[in-house]
Amino acid sequence: MGNADFECRQRVGVPPPKPFLLSLKSSLKETFFPDDPLRQFQNQPPGRKLVLGLQYFVPILEWAPRYTFEYFKADVVAGITIASLAVPQGISYANLANLPPIMGLYSSFVPPLVYAMLGSSKDLGVGTVAVSSLLISAMLTKEVNPIQNPKLYVQLALTSTFIAGVFQAALGFLRLGFIVDFLSHATIVGFMGGAATVVCLQQLKGILGLVHFTHGTDLVSVMRSILTQTHQIGHLKKGLNPPSVSELAFGSEYLPTAIKTGIITGFIALAEGIAVGRSFAMFKNYHIDGNKEMIALGMMNIAGSCTSCYLTTGPFSRTAVNFNAGCKTAVSNIVMAMAVMFTLLFLTPLFHYTPLVVLSSIIIAAMLGLMDYEAVVHLWKVDKFDFVVCIGSYLGVVFGSVEIGLVVAVVISLLRVLLFVARPKTHVLGNIPNSVAFRSIDQYPVARSIPGILILQIDAPIYFTNANYLRERISRWVDEEEDKLKSSLEIGLQYVILDMSAVGSIDTSGISMLEEIKKTLDRRGLKLVLANPGSEVMKKLDKSKFIEAIGEEWIYLTVAEAVGACNFMLHSCKSNSTKTIESEEAQADNIV
Amino acid sequence: MGNADFECRQRVGVPPPKPFLLSLKSSLKETFFPDDPLRQFQNQPPGRKLVLGLQYFVPILEWAPRYTFEYFKADVVAGITIASLAVPQGISYANLANLPPIMGLYSSFVPPLVYAMLGSSKDLGVGTVAVSSLLISAMLTKEVNPIQNPKLYVQLALTSTFIAGVFQAALGFLRLGFIVDFLSHATIVGFMGGAATVVCLQQLKGILGLVHFTHGTDLVSVMRSILTQTHQIGHLKKGLNPPSVSELAFGSEYLPTAIKTGIITGFIALAEGIAVGRSFAMFKNYHIDGNKEMIALGMMNIAGSCTSCYLTTGPFSRTAVNFNAGCKTAVSNIVMAMAVMFTLLFLTPLFHYTPLVVLSSIIIAAMLGLMDYEAVVHLWKVDKFDFVVCIGSYLGVVFGSVEIGLVVAVVISLLRVLLFVARPKTHVLGNIPNSVAFRSIDQYPVARSIPGILILQIDAPIYFTNANYLRERISRWVDEEEDKLKSSLEIGLQYVILDMSAVGSIDTSGISMLEEIKKTLDRRGLKLVLANPGSEVMKKLDKSKFIEAIGEEWIYLTVAEAVGACNFMLHSCKSNSTKTIESEEAQADNIV
């Protein structure tokens, strides 16, 4: 093997220069349109494009022509099933939100109709949810007392629903749906558990009060107590949703509260609706467009806020029942809406006597289902950091408030991401016997280190947050290696190979760090060698002239090639080497 | 090659289970003690440990015994040189901070003495800096008018200096020095440029006013004007620093302002001092301990605030002059302090007549040096995102305030890190001819794809922020590959190999994502194969039972092995394959 052999090796590619606007366009596209929604419009005549565009924004136009009677039969069964759930749940959750119970029923009439037109999920059952109801109550009650000032309270709830809808639709239109991803699974588990705990404690208080009351044991006073309690729930009038556009209180002094409530509850409701829709879409193997779904959920809340409905989304319980009852399309939501309409027109007075304890039981039963102990145990077993996020979110909600819980969880989650980038792992690599693979010595105890050569792998992008750390850490690896070799009779350290395979990106601070490392190593008489830098990194190294500084011949496609070249130099320069290194030589020959 | 061959391959290692506390300890150590400061204490007798500990906190004890007369000669020359710079600069910057000019001289006396004892840099020249002076003036003048209420203004400046010192030392003691790394080079370039622009505009106003004044052209009025102007600067009294502990205004209603000013200016001063110290240490190839340096800078400001000095750090200009004048150790700071002491005792009255225009010129000259156009051009060429950070920081300072500029830059920088993790790159890999390496087809146009197998590389840790994106992106790659193959006569897609080499970590959301991908691929009749997951990832996959779900035999050490196994299956199962795949087979044989 001679120097000439090295010349015919595959060079590490520097990607061809790409105009700035083109690369900006492609990275914007990847950020905001990762699902490539315009793909289906390519190479279509204008008329077809119009139809596709309409179908994109109003999905019912796409699937309605293919709708069959078989589907309809299944959807009717599923729709009536979820309607029977919707009535008591609607009343209970409205109670939780300190709103008139009839609003819970209204909310199961208009929003499902809107969703059936615009939504892309076939399984989502639309309705109010416990957590959002609780949030509305918690945030609005701070400012307005719902007993003393019920009209203003309802106005604020409707206004915040409107704002939640606008916010949700705007996120969808602006393709910012990925913000929802920042609520991790662990955050949601902790948050739901905390909210459920708070709600249960509140309901227990009520139930305990009732228990205390029955010490009287006579039926008349118990009945009276129950009737008194139900009277606190408010009257249930017959009739469909009255319009409520005039109730939107944009001129109110409490508008900032309504905006804050709308954005927070809208965000939480969105996260729940999208997560539920995606989970069930996965079961049936179809795709949900997150941004389109946000527009649908937002539109349904805007329409809802104008027709006396408060915040709705896709609750897990109702969707699961819908799915199990065999729904085929969003028509099941239309059927549910019709059933609720029938209830509103003819049956409402019957629900007047639903006692508080029944509502409390419904709420507590729903809440207990939200506390996912198994998920918490799973988090502890698999990922301690996610466990901390979950517990932080839980404790924040229980001992602080829902907002504090959310902020705590999101901050801890983001800190984890930042910490990963600020303190990347560096591994010493060794050769796996009988292969050209080089792997971490910690993970593969069989991996053998190569005398005279230190191979380090960096496990994260090199950014300003970790540039100083990496410089210190790499110096420390070199120090430790030299200390170790000093005491042995082995060949001294000559080469430091940085395996850049896992370095996805680099910024100017990172390049300065590499330049400093090179200078330091040069001064110590050591040679810096790079292995397998990716295209992003090569582009930056090229532009900053670092490739010229290090010499293109010291950048290799694989660690094995780099080791081969270093070994060749060691062998030809150090004839007084105390150890033969033919085996590695032979191995390097295989790949050159 | 038979199935038996696969059995003898090197298994992907699952690291042995490590007790939770042990792994917590090692990750805390890597986060807070990356430089391993306790290493030198290992295996030392108690007496030696005490000496080493004292030397650790008071570095002068370490190097003073080795101090030679040669060093002293060099340090005297350097010290006198920087003293000649310290006097006009001190007066100018104090002027910039709206503080009595004598405080600028005091600040070049006590703090350098403290730093010489505690600092670990051999080159840092201690003194006040323009940016911090400007910041103090900008933040305090909002609350207190320095002309109308000079005593309170000075008290607040001293208090904020004390708080800056405590903050700096606390960061060092708590090993939180890495927070300084969050100010990237690009941020600092933009910030300094913005601050310099603001200062120059302020000074120009003064100079232009003076130009307007000289329309009178007679010497007497010009002299009078200059003298009037210098009188606005305040009297310069002879004598050393008076004690100022009693001036620390902790009971003042403006304490919150002083705290805010102290923390912000302390942080900026720290970033400058550490960056300057590190840069010059690199030239001379010695090491600076960031946390120790913070304690030294903090202590010198605490001592300074008790002796009528305001905020000091290691200015770039003074350090560069010190370095060029040939300083050997921190003794040059002691010499400078002595020279300033002599000035304070005997020469101060001479500076009484320094005219404002001279001070303005000194400031403007220093400021022009801070505007680093070349660095901005470099940022634009190498890294557009860093350029945006730099410009954001500049515009924030110039059109908003120094705080706004800093917040803008830090937020943009962090967004970049988060965006990297939220939108990781995925690459399709192909085989580099005549090797077992698989590389991105975009970067290496020679790389050939393998029929029936899609190889994807993920370039970032899989976290909650990117789990949804990656699921969509991987589905899209599979869709595109299937579309492409549908129109050709090649073998249909059978295997999807995920190259996990660059996935440094995974959380529970990421594991759920992998589980969902596996389910989706199973349903489409495709097989998911993993290549080279790292130890962190293998640990999590093992704990979450994903390894059981996918089957240990579908996790390979290298992409080449995975491709070999898939090809073997394709070949033996699909005898009606339309294309021979012997060449890849043969290649896979090489490595099994």
Q: Report the share of chain A in percent with pLDDT over 70.
A: 85
Contact between chains at A467 and B181 (C-beta distance less than 8 A): yes
* Cβ–Cβ contact B25 with A under 8 A: no
CB < 8 Å to B443, chain A: 13, 15, 534-535, 538
Residue A165 has pLDDT above 70, yes or no: yes
SS3 content of chain A, % helix, strand, coil (to 5): 65, 5, 25
User: Which pLDDT score, from 0 to 100, does residue A231 have?
Assistant: 42
Judge whether A386 is closer than 8 Å to chain B, CB to CB.
Answer: yes
Of A382, A385, A414, the CB nearest to B418: A414
Query: What percent of chain B has a predicted confidence (pLDDT) above 90?
Result: 26
Closest CA to A427 of A572, A265, A559: A559
Q: Name the maximum alpha-carbon separation found in chain A.
A: 107
Q: Does B507 touch chain A (CB under 8 A)?
A: yes
**Strands ordered across the beta sheet of A426-431:** A438-440, A426-431, A453-458, A495-499, A527-531, A555-556
Is there a contact between A378 and B508 if contact means CB atoms under 8 Å apart? yes
Q: What are phi and psi of A193, to 5 degrees?
A: -60, -45
Q: Which of A427, A437, A508 sits opposite B557 (nearest CB)?
A: A437
pLDDT at residue number A262? 94
Asked if residue B265 lies in contact with residue B158, where contact means CB atoms within 8 angstroms, the answer is: no
Give A190→chain B minimum CA distance, Å: 14
Measured in angstroms, the CA of A435 and the nearest CA of chain B are apart by: 6
pLDDT at B379 over 80: yes
Tokens at residue B392, please? 């954001």
> What does the pLDDT read at residue B338?
93
Minimal Cβ distance to A185: which of B27, B416, B508: B508
Contact A75, A329 (CB under 8 A): yes
Rounded-to-integer distance, Cα B74 and Cα B82, Å? 13
Instruction: Give B9's pLDDT tier (boundaries 50, 70, 90).
Output: low
Question: Which has more pLDDT, A47 or A71?
Answer: A71
- Taking CB atoms and an 8 Å limit, are B464 and A10 in contact across chains? no
Question: What pLDDT is attached to residue B187?
Answer: 82
> In the structure, what pLDDT confidence band is assigned to residue B71 with cuts at 50, 70 and 90?
very high
CB A104 within 8 A of CB A136: no
pLDDT at A535 over 70: yes
Mean pLDDT value of segment B227-234:
50
The rounded mean pLDDT for chain B is 82
Q: Touching check for B393 and chain A: CB below 8 Å?
A: no
Separation CA A533–CA A500 (nearest Å): 5
Residue A209: pLDDT band (50, 70, 90) is low
Q: How far is B10 from chain A (nearest CA, A)?
A: 8
Mean pLDDT on B156-171? 95
Confidence category of residue A212, pLDDT binned at 50, 70, 90: very low
Q: Where are the alpha helices (DSSP H) in A9-144?
A: 20-32, 46-57, 60-63, 69-96, 101-106, 110-118, 130-141
More confident residue, B581 or B89: B89
- A508–B424: do the CB atoms touch at under 8 Å? no
Is the Cβ pair A383, B507 closer than 8 Å? yes
Q: How many CB pairs under 8 A join A and B?
A: 242
In this prediction, residues A496-521 reach a mean pLDDT of: 90
Mean pLDDT of A167-190: 83
Q: What is the pLDDT of residue B356?
A: 64
Contact A504 B425 (CB under 8 A): yes
Terminal CA-to-CA distance of chain A, rounded, Å? 9
Residue A497 backbone zone (phi > 0: left; psi -120 to 50: alpha; other: beta): beta
Own/partner contacts of A67-71, CB < 8 Å, gap of 24 or more, are A67/A329, A67/A331, A70/A328, A71/A328, A71/A329, A71/A331
Q: How confident is the model at residue A175 (pLDDT cuts 50, 70, 90)?
A: confident
> With an 8 Å Cβ cutoff, are B10 and A540 in contact?
no
Query: Chain A within 8 Å of B35 (Cβ-Cβ)?
Result: yes
Which runs of consecutive H residues, i.e. helices, occur in B285-383? 290-305, 316-324, 331-342, 356-370, 373-382
pLDDT computed for residue B235 by the predictor: 55
Local confidence band at A225 (pLDDT 50, 70, 90 cut-offs)? very low
Of B268-272, B316-320, B484-488, the poorest mean pLDDT is in: B484-488
Distance between B523 CA and the closest CA of chain A, angstroms: 8
- Evaluate whether A269 touches A129 at the Cβ level (below 8 Å): yes
Lowest mean pLDDT among B242-246, B394-398, B573-577: B573-577
Provide the shortest C-alpha distance from residue B342 to chain A (in Å).
40
What does the mean pLDDT of chain A come to? 82
Over residues A111-122, the mean pLDDT reads: 93
Q: Say if B287 is an interface residue toward chain A (CB within 8 Å).
A: yes
B527 has which bridge partners?
Answer: B495
pLDDT tops 80 at residue B270: yes
Q: Residue A241 — very low, low, confident or very high, per pLDDT cuts 50/70/90?
A: confident
Q: Does A480 touch chain B (CB under 8 A)?
A: no
A42 touches chain B (CB under 8 A): no
Name the residue with higher pLDDT: A50 or B218: A50
> pLDDT at residue B527 above 90?
yes
Instruction: State whether B460 and A461 contact (CB < 8 Å).
Output: yes
- pLDDT score recorded for residue A213: 38
pLDDT of residue B351 exceeding 80: no
* Three-state DSSP state, A428: strand
Q: Does residue A130 contact residue A93 with C-beta atoms inside 8 Å?
A: yes
Q: What residues of chain B lie within 8 A of the CB of A439, using their CB? A: 13, 532, 557
Segment B275-282 mean pLDDT: 77
- Res B353: pLDDT: 64
User: Which of B416, B435, B438, B590 best tests the A interface by mutation, with the highest count of A CBs <10 A?
Assistant: B435
User: Would the CB atoms of B440 and A519 count as touching at under 8 Å?
Assistant: no
Mean pLDDT over residues A488-497, rounded?
84
The per-residue pLDDT for B482 is: 86
What value of ipTM does the predicted structure carry? 0.77
Closest CA to A356 of A205, A155, A476, A540: A205
DSSP alpha helix (H) spans, B214-330: 219-233, 255-284, 290-305, 316-324
Phi, psi of A14 (to 5 degrees): -100, 120
